[in-house]
Amino acid sequence: MEVVAMASTALSPLPHHTATTIQDQRPSSRVSLPHPPAVLLERCKTLDHVLQVHAAVVKQGLVQDDLLMFKLLRSYSNSGSTRLAHLVFDRIAEPNVFFWTGLIRSYSVNGHHPQAISLYYQMQGRGVQPNAVTLSTVLKSCSVDFALRDGECIHGHALKLQLVSDVFVKSVLIDMYARCGRVQSARQLFDEITERNVVAWTAMITCYAKLGDVDVARMLFDKMPERDVVCWNAMIDGYTQHGKCSEALALFQSMLREFNMKPNEVTMLSVISACAQLGSIESGRWVHSYVRNIGLHTRVRVNTALIDMYCKCGDWDDACYVFDNMQERDIVSWNAMIAGYAMHGKSKEALQLFSELTELEFQPTDITFIGLLNACSHAGLVNDGRKFFESMRDKFGIEPKIEHYGCMVDLLGRAGLLDEAYELVKSMRIAPDPVLWGSLLGACRLHGNIKLGEQIASFLMENGLANSGTYVLLSNMFAAAGNWKEAARVRTLMKDSGVHKEPGCSSIEVNNKTHEFLAGDMNHPRCKEIHIMLDKLNELLKLEGYVPQTEIVLHDIEDKHKEQSLAIHSERLAIAFGLISTEPGTTIKIVKNLRVCVDCHTVTKMISKITGRKIVVRDRSRFHHFIDGTCSCGDYW
């Protein structure tokens, strides 16, 4: 028997309190144990310990003790060895429902969900009737594996066996339907429960939260008679995943202050993600400090999330500090750092980091190459980008996804290699999406290729794939060429199609409060002071030789009005507010939802030199670090 052979070769000493004495005597000799095997199995901490006890059980002739063999099966399962648990099961002549349930649980808890479901059907085929624990166990596998049909079938079995009234069975059924997107079925079962446990409440809250109906989720959350950390996590994560990050942070504060609930690693991952999405560096630093206080600062996933947060909040130094001080790293940590280098314009450093991780024999993933290709795109490293793209499949066996093709199109398009980019799109093994077409269209706009741009835009419009960016880019191409008639026609098409252009918006965080500005915004309480500062800056800019680049204002108006339009772009209002609201020498950090225009890029460089301030601008695709009249992007973005 294989398991006996394995057990017999694993007789290294147990810890002193669980030591097993196996004397070197004749095979018929009894083995002396300081405690009964069942007790020793409860104390086993590793697979080797279980193997040692199993060897003693075999030599003592106790393999006919069903209770002992069941505990042995469970111990193998808890040690992560489903295969050995199954070998024990196979030695049972007529396994009852407890053995079947134990084996199903072993496959389920160790992530082998299809096999767990298959075993359930085998058990039924052997005429063994499941109990509530069996049903709860296999339904968890259906939930994780999104096996709705199997879940519905098992639900039918539960009805026939009259086990649906069991609160644990019903709670797992709710979770299964919720995870599979069957909200009405989940809610019907939830409403039938007279005494709901926390599992049922959490399953229903998670269901609504994942589908984006966070208001209903919050209503249920507030009605809960008692809450554990799992339901708090479900609600906080629901807010974070659906862009309600301020609400997520507020709920986290309530969790700590009003309910004195201790968060866990999952909580902190959601909270750190919320800070990253908001670009709220002050909140992020406070969360980092809190993570250290509760002892989660050594966790790999937490540190990786912190790296991502600091990168997205523009604090490159702190991101590097976290990475450099990690005691342990996985490929996700390396990926986060490579992506951080890329978004901050440190492309050569990103490529160097990739060399380091391969030297350390980490296996790169598809996410690794997204970061690398972005780094190449932001620096115009066309040859390096081609090399990495080709090596994905040829060297690392990674099939390029739509995101990788998008990065390559962006890289080639920015470099002006439009024909090569277009040929790549046409040769793709997967269908290009509107985002990829939009990237190529943007490159046509950048390099003035109206013919190809019009061809792409027409294709998108005819196939119902056009968005506001499609119309705006095409209109801007015509306007840049002075063809105001065609530009106006495209704008009219856009209006008739009910598509609206996303307005430019810039935000800045001062004293833990986020201030947002639109172009020409006159609604801020300190509006008068902001415009006084803008006037001062404009005077200083002219003394430095600034000439407005009015050609980028794509409206058929006089140059004077074009200059006025440029002067009140949203990022300039945010910078002016930052100058009047922070101490001299303080770094000003701006977040913009669109790409920074050429004129604002030039102006921001000059303002950084005039004021002696470092200005960090996070636009739609990357970070710009303006210091003493220069930008980290090298004017290539």
Answer with the one of 328, 348, 367 that is the final residue of a domain. 328
Radius of gyration of the chain (CA): 31
Q: What is the pLDDT of residue 461?
A: 86
pLDDT (tens digit, 9 = 90+) per residue, 559-597?
565 567 778 899 999 999 999 999 999 999 999 998 898
Question: Which DSSP string corresponds to 176-242?
Answer: HHHHTT-HHHHHHHHHH-SS--HHHHHHHHHHHHHTT-HHHHHHHHHH-SS--HHHHHHHHHHHHHT
One domain for residues 571 and 482: no
Q: What is the pLDDT of residue 252?
A: 97
Q: Is a pLDDT exceeding 70 seen at residue 40?
A: no
Q: Is a pLDDT exceeding 60 seen at residue 183?
A: yes
Specify the amino acid at residue 77.
S
Most confident of 188-192, 333-337, 344-348, 495-499: 333-337
Both structure tokens of 218: 């919050």
Closest to 403 (Cα-Cα) out of 357, 372, 446:
372
Alpha-carbon distance values, 112 to 83, 108, 117, 466 (Å): 11, 6, 9, 43
Please give the residue that has the higher pLDDT: either 623 or 484.
Answer: 623
One domain for residues 535 and 484: no
One domain for residues 454 and 566: no
Q: What is the pLDDT of residue 25?
A: 27
One domain for residues 491 and 541: no
> CA-CA distance, 636 to 632, in Å (whole number)?
9
Answer with the one of 296, 328, 360 that is the final residue of a domain. 328
Residue 47 maps to a domain: no
Q: Is 526 exposed, middle or buried (0-12, 13-18, 19+ CB in 10 A)?
A: middle
One domain for residues 510 and 627: yes
Mean per-residue pLDDT of the chain:
88
Number of domains the chain contains: 3
Q: By the 8 A CB rule, do 486 and 457 touch?
A: no
Q: What percent of the chain has pLDDT over 90?
A: 62
Q: What is the pLDDT of residue 8?
A: 42
Residue 76 maps to a domain: no
Answer with the one of 280, 307, 328 that is the final residue of a domain. 328
pTM of the model: 0.79
Residue 398 maps to a domain: no
Residue 250 maps to a domain: yes
Q: What is the pLDDT of residue 499?
A: 72
Q: By the 8 A CB rule, do 339 and 306 touch?
A: no
Q: By the 8 A CB rule, do 364 and 340 touch?
A: no
Please give the residue that has the higher pLDDT: either 58 or 286.
Answer: 286
Both structure tokens of 408: 């390559």
Residue 259 maps to a domain: yes
> CA-CA distance, 423 to 273, in Å (whole number)?
38
SS3 state of residue 631: strand
Alpha-carbon distance values, 60 to 16, 22, 33, 355, 400 (Å): 21, 10, 10, 56, 57
Q: What is the pLDDT of residue 559?
A: 55
Residue 124 maps to a domain: no
Q: How many residues does the chain have?
A: 637
SS3 state of residue 459: helix
pLDDT (tens digit, 9 = 90+) per residue, 460-510?
888 888 888 888 888 878 877 788 888 888 888 888 777 777 788 999 999
Q: By the 8 A CB rule, do 315 and 281 touch?
A: yes
One domain for residues 452 and 509: no
Q: By the 8 A CB rule, do 211 and 179 touch?
A: no
User: What confidence tier does 157 reach under pLDDT thresholds 50, 70, 90?
Assistant: very high
Q: What is the pLDDT of residue 31?
A: 45
Q: Is a pLDDT exceeding 90 seen at residue 60?
A: no
Count Cβ atoms below 10 Å from residue 63 Cβ, excluding itself.
Answer: 18
Structural domain boundaries enclosing 290: 227-328
Residue 317 maps to a domain: yes
One domain for residues 479 and 514: no
Q: Is a pLDDT exceeding 90 seen at residue 258?
A: no
One domain for residues 490 and 514: no
Q: What is the pLDDT of residue 163?
A: 94
Q: What is the CATH number of the domain that holds 313?
A: 1.25.40
Q: Is a pLDDT exceeding 80 seen at residue 21?
A: no
One domain for residues 551 and 511: yes
Q: What is the pLDDT of residue 443?
A: 92
User: What region, left, alpha or beta, does residue 464 occupy, with left being phi > 0 and alpha being psi -120 to 50 degrees?
Assistant: left
One domain for residues 520 and 491: no
One domain for residues 532 and 619: yes
Q: What is the pLDDT of residue 13?
A: 35
Mean pLDDT calculated for residue range 207-235: 94
One domain for residues 517 and 627: yes
Residue 251 maps to a domain: yes
In the block, tokens 């793709």 appear at: 428
Closest to 512 (Cα-Cα) out of 603, 581, 409:
581
